[in-house]
Amino acid sequence: MAENTVLDAIDAAILRELQNDARISNKDLAARVNVAASTCLERVRALQRRGVLAGFHADADPAALGRPLQAYIAVRVRPHNRDVVEPFIRFVLDLPETIALSHIAGADDFLVHVAVRDAAHLQRLLLDGFTSRREVAHLETQLIFSHIRKWDIGPM
């Protein structure tokens, strides 16, 4: 199988199963995709080597951790150069409220996905965390009613 082609049927099935349940035993995984356990193990390792499988992560529920409110914060950073942007990224990633951070093209420069306790907590985060920083030129906050992440993405 060439390195640059899409996945074959077995790899795609392995990917699907592991995205669905990363803690499945290798034996059960092998049974689901109809190969021997040893074959399955080697294919999983190959997928990791190729970078297709980037990692395995437990999904913690922010609400169960006392952070039931989520929001997107769109941020414009001025001036938008490396010396300003890189410390800003580090700052955002160090915030415990941050779940994800995107650097985007458009009117806004960053989209920060946060999970907080309540509206007061969000307000404090915006005022003390963001608007107090000099490089933050503009903020726009959108509450998230619901956020659905599709776990099983595949080749197209």
Partner in contact with 131, chosen from DNA, its own copies, none, beta carbon below 5 to 8 Å by kind? none
Is 19 a residue that touches its own copies (CB under 8 A)?
yes
Q: Which of 21, 42, 128, 140 binds DNA (CB under 7 A)?
A: 42
Nearer to its own copies, 131 or 142 (CB): 142
Cα separation, 130 vs 116, in Å, equals 15
Query: Residue 94 and residue 2: Cα distance in Å, rounded?
Result: 40
Distance CA 135, CA 109 (A): 12
User: Is 104 or 120 the residue whose CB approaches its own copies more closely?
Assistant: 104
42/155 Cα distance (integer angstroms) = 20
Interface segment toward its own copies; rule CB under 8 A; list 35-43, 75-83, 126-134, 135-143: 135-143
Residue 58's binding partner, choosing from DNA, its own copies, none, with beta-carbon cut-off 5 to 8 A by kind?
A: its own copies
Q: How far is CA 75 from CA 98, 100, 113, 137, 144, in A?
A: 14, 13, 11, 7, 16
- Cβ atoms of 69 and 117 within 8 Å: the answer is yes
Among 108, 124, 133, 139, binds its own copies (CB under 8 A): 108
Residue 88 neighbours by CB distance under 10 Å: 20
56 binds, among its own copies, DNA, none (CB under 5 to 8 A by kind): its own copies
Instruction: State how far the alpha carbon of 64 is from the alpha carbons of 58, 69, 121, in Å.
Output: 14, 11, 16
Instruction: Give contact residues for DNA (rule: CB under 7 A).
Output: 1, 10, 25-28, 34-39, 41-43
Instruction: Give contact residues for its own copies (rule: CB under 8 A).
Output: 6-7, 15, 18-23, 50-62, 64-67, 72, 89, 93, 96-106, 108, 111, 115, 117, 140, 142-151, 153-156
